[in-house]
């Protein structure tokens, strides 16, 4: 079976930013940026402030907080300031003092305050919090590999958070997520080694993790809280809650959690080079609320693990680039010594083209002559492949890890040449340097049938996630190990050398 992309255009097009409701474990205030007048609130705000929603809207937030806090809101949160900043408020309403924590962010012409009501106020100092995470940070930093760093991270997060189960997903190039590390209590189903289709966390949901470090759902069984008024009076549309932690959750995701037999969840991003690399998925079999402070600790650890993973990969990439540079220089020297490209790079002893590009076969096609090293397709296959490449007018490095998906005849020799790296010497004349990699037959262990990720009802409108995460195996063929960016860069540099060398040969 060929590899299939399971990302979902349908799920990815859901307008998640227009979910105009919040979860009930917090409160939302929307303030005019210039006057701090309250222009929109969540309908549960009376629980916190003791004032009816209708009576609260259009009053000034300045009436309820100190002058110092008002000045902070007016001076610090200017248009263009995109960070979410934590603040603590002393709110006085009807003679009663409330001391909620808040996350404040500035939008165009208004501020959004996400409030967390602290029932038992307990002052804690930075050193108290830092002590809880110092060992975890040190353990992650001392990890010698990505796998070890991930295993340490989820262990430490489980100890700090108390979640019943924690998993580390790593995304592949098609955005499927494989569980590479796991910590769970007895009785919870293990998904270690299983892969979940990209449609489980579709494109639009993945994009939100670049805005929000984490997503907390304390209780999947909740009644969403509406905003009042429904339409934001500044934008005259639904308010954009995409980067709000309190934003309500799409019904299909709540049903997904139900099918996983969990009541609470928290998803924490892992970033590499500014892109989403993976997610830390935390699950609890009963409702579980985490304070903003604890969420911030986990957010900090996600940054530590992100930096560690990036550092390990960057070192590996540096080492790989250095190795390729060394090999390229050695091959160029051999070409000059032999005064022949094929003889210089296809010798039986290292260094040779196979060692440089971690290939199992290579060929040089130059003016109708075919020279090979290692396992390559037969001569008639190479002749046909050369004609196909020549027809594609390839003048820069070309690669594929699934040649049969582009060139049907390649299916006949997928076992030795599913991967191809093409370095054109002169593509218009059919002169190429080719490297081959064999197929790697994979058995993917899916967490449920990925073909059943979304199921529509007969009306074609209502839909549900798959209701089973039982192991579903898929065998994938005709896929080779991918060519890395460092290999492609080295191939392009070698292409320039080969073209110049041949040109000089023609004029000498």
pLDDT at 7: 58
Residue 204 has pLDDT above 90, yes or no: no
Residue 20 has pLDDT above 90, yes or no: no
pLDDT band with cut points at 50, 70 and 90 for residue 454: low
Can you point out the beta strands (E) in 107-261? 110-116, 165-171, 177-184, 195-196, 214-217, 225-228
pLDDT at 246: 94
Q: What percent of the chain has pLDDT over 90?
A: 66
**Cα gap 288→222, rounded to integer Å:** 13
**Cα gap 392→374, rounded to integer Å:** 26
Query: Taking a C-beta distance cutoff of 8 angstroms, is the pair 258, 469 a contact?
Result: no
**Cα gap 260→189, rounded to integer Å:** 9
pLDDT single digits (tens) 353-387: 999 999 999 999 998 999 999 999 999 999 999 99
Q: How far is CA 295 from the centre of its chain?
A: 20
User: Is residue 236 exposed (0-12), middle (13-18) or buried (19+ Cβ within 10 Å)?
Assistant: exposed
pLDDT band with cut points at 50, 70 and 90 for residue 303: very high
Helix (H) / strand (E) containing 38: strand 38-42
**CA triple 255-258-259, angle to 5 deg:** 90
Q: Is 43 helix (H, G, I), strand (E, B) or coil?
A: coil
In DSSP terms, 167 is beta-bridged to 182, 281
Least confident of 61-65, 122-126, 419-423, 477-481: 122-126
**Cα gap 248→245, rounded to integer Å:** 9
pLDDT at 471: 65
Cα torsion for 234, 238, 48, 243, to the nearest 10°? -100
Helix (H) / strand (E) containing 475: strand 471-476
Select the more confidently predicted residue: 141 or 505.
Answer: 141
**Cα gap 5→401, rounded to integer Å:** 15
Mean pLDDT, residues 407-411 taken together: 95
pLDDT at 331: 95
CA-wise closest residue to 175 among 450, 478, 468:
450
Mean pLDDT, residues 274-289 taken together: 96
**Cα gap 422→419, rounded to integer Å:** 10
**Cα gap 497→344, rounded to integer Å:** 13
CATH of domain 27-116: 3.30.450.20
| Number of residues written out for the chain | 508
Q: What is the pTM of this model?
A: 0.83
pLDDT single digits (tens) 109-122: 899 999 987 655 45
* Domain regions of the chain by residue span: 9-16+120-224+249-314, 27-116, 339-441+477-507
Mean pLDDT, residues 294-317 taken together: 93
pLDDT band with cut points at 50, 70 and 90 for residue 3: low
Q: What percent of the chain has pLDDT over 70?
A: 88
Q: How far apart are the first and last CA of the chain?
A: 52
Residue 467 has pLDDT above 70, yes or no: no
pLDDT at 128: 65
Mean pLDDT, residues 184-199 taken together: 92
What is the fold of 9-16+120-224+249-314? Answer: Beta-Lactamase (3.30.450)
pLDDT at 81: 76
pLDDT at 4: 60
Running DSSP on this structure, what letter comes out for residue 427? G
Residue 138 has pLDDT above 60, yes or no: yes
Running DSSP on this structure, what letter comes out for residue 65? S
Residue 287 has pLDDT above 90, yes or no: yes
**Cα gap 491→325, rounded to integer Å:** 10
Mean pLDDT, residues 241-259 taken together: 91
- What's phi and psi for 404, nearest 5 deg? -65, -25
In DSSP terms, 275 is beta-bridged to 272
Least confident of 122-126, 241-245, 280-284, 346-350: 122-126
Mean pLDDT, residues 273-283 taken together: 95
pLDDT at 459: 58
pLDDT at 235: 87
What CATH class has 339-441+477-507? alpha beta
The mean of the pLDDT values for the chain is 88
Running DSSP on this structure, what letter comes out for residue 234? T
pLDDT band with cut points at 50, 70 and 90 for residue 12: very low
**Cα gap 450→448, rounded to integer Å:** 6
> For strand 91-93 and strand 96-98, is the pairing parallel, antiparallel, or unpaired?
antiparallel
pLDDT at 1: 47
pLDDT at 13: 46
Helix (H) / strand (E) containing 357: helix 353-357
Residue 14 has pLDDT above 60, yes or no: no
Q: Is 5 helix (H, G, I), strand (E, B) or coil?
A: coil
Residue 488 has pLDDT above 80, yes or no: yes
pLDDT single digits (tens) 215-236: 999 999 999 999 999 999 988 9
Helix axes 292-338, 146-161, angle to 10 degrees: 180
pLDDT at 60: 95
């Amino acid at each position: 079976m060929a590899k299939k992309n399971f990302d979902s255009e349908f799920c990815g097009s859901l307008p998640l930013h227009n979910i105009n409701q919040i979860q009930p474990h917090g409160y939302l205030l929307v303030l005019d940026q210039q006057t701090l007048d309250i222009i929109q609130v969540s309908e549960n705000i009376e629980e916190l402030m003791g004032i009816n929603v209708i009576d609260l809207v259009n009053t000034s937030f300045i009436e309820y907080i100190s002058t110092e806090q008002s000045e902070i809101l007016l001076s610090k949160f200017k248009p263009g300031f995109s960070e979410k900043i934590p603040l603590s408020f002393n709110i006085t309403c009807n003679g009663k003092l409330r001391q909620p924590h808040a996350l404040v962010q500035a939008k165009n012409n208004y501020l959004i305050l996400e409030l967390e009501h602290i029932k038992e106020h307990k002052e804690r100092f930075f050193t108290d919090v830092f002590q809880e995470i110092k060992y975890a940070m040190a353990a992650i930093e001392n990890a010698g590999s990505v796998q070890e760093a991930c295993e340490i991270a989820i262990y430490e997060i489980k100890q700090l958070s108390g979640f019943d189960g924690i998993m580390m997903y790593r995304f592949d190039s098609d955005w499927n997520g494989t569980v590479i590390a796991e910590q769970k209590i007895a009785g919870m189903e293990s998904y270690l080694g299983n892969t979940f289709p990209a449609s489980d966390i579709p494109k639009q949901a993945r994009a939100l993790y670049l805005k929000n470090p984490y997503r907390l759902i304390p209780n999947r069984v909740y009644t969403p809280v509406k905003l009042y008024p429904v339409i934001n009076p500044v934008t005259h549309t639904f308010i954009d809650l995409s980067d709000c932690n309190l934003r309500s959750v799409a019904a299909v995701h709540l049903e997904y959690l139900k099918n996983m037999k969990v009541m609470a969840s928290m998803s924490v991003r892992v970033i590499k080079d500014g892109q989403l690399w993976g997610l830390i998925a935390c699950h609890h079999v009963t409702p579980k609320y985490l304070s903003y402070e604890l969420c911030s600790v986990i957010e900090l650890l996600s940054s530590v693990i992100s930096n560690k993973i990036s550092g390990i990969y960057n070192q590996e990439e540096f080492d790989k680039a250095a190795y390729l540079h060394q090999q390229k220089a050695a091959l160029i020297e051999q070409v000059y010594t032999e005064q022949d490209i094929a003889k210089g790079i296809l010798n039986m002893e290292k260094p040779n083209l196979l060692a440089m590009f971690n290939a199992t076969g290579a060929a040089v096609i130059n003016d109708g002559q075919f020279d090979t090293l290692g396992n390559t397709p037969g001569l008639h296959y190479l002749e046909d492949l050369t004609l196909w490449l020549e027809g594609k007018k390839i003048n820069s490095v070309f690669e594929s890890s699934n040649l049969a998906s582009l060139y049907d005849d390649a299916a006949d020799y997928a076992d030795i040449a599913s991967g191809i790296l093409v370095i054109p010497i002169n593509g218009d004349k059919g002169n190429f340097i080719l490297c081959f990699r064999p197929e790697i037959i994979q058995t993917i262990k899916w967490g449920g049938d990925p073909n059943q990720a979304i199921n529509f009802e007969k009306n074609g409108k209502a839909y549900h996630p798959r209701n089973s995460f039982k192991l579903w195996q898929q065998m994938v063929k005709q896929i080779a190990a991918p060519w890395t960016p460092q290999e492609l860069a080295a191939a392009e540099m070698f292409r320039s050398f080969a073209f110049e060398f041949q040109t000089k040969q023609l004029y000498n």
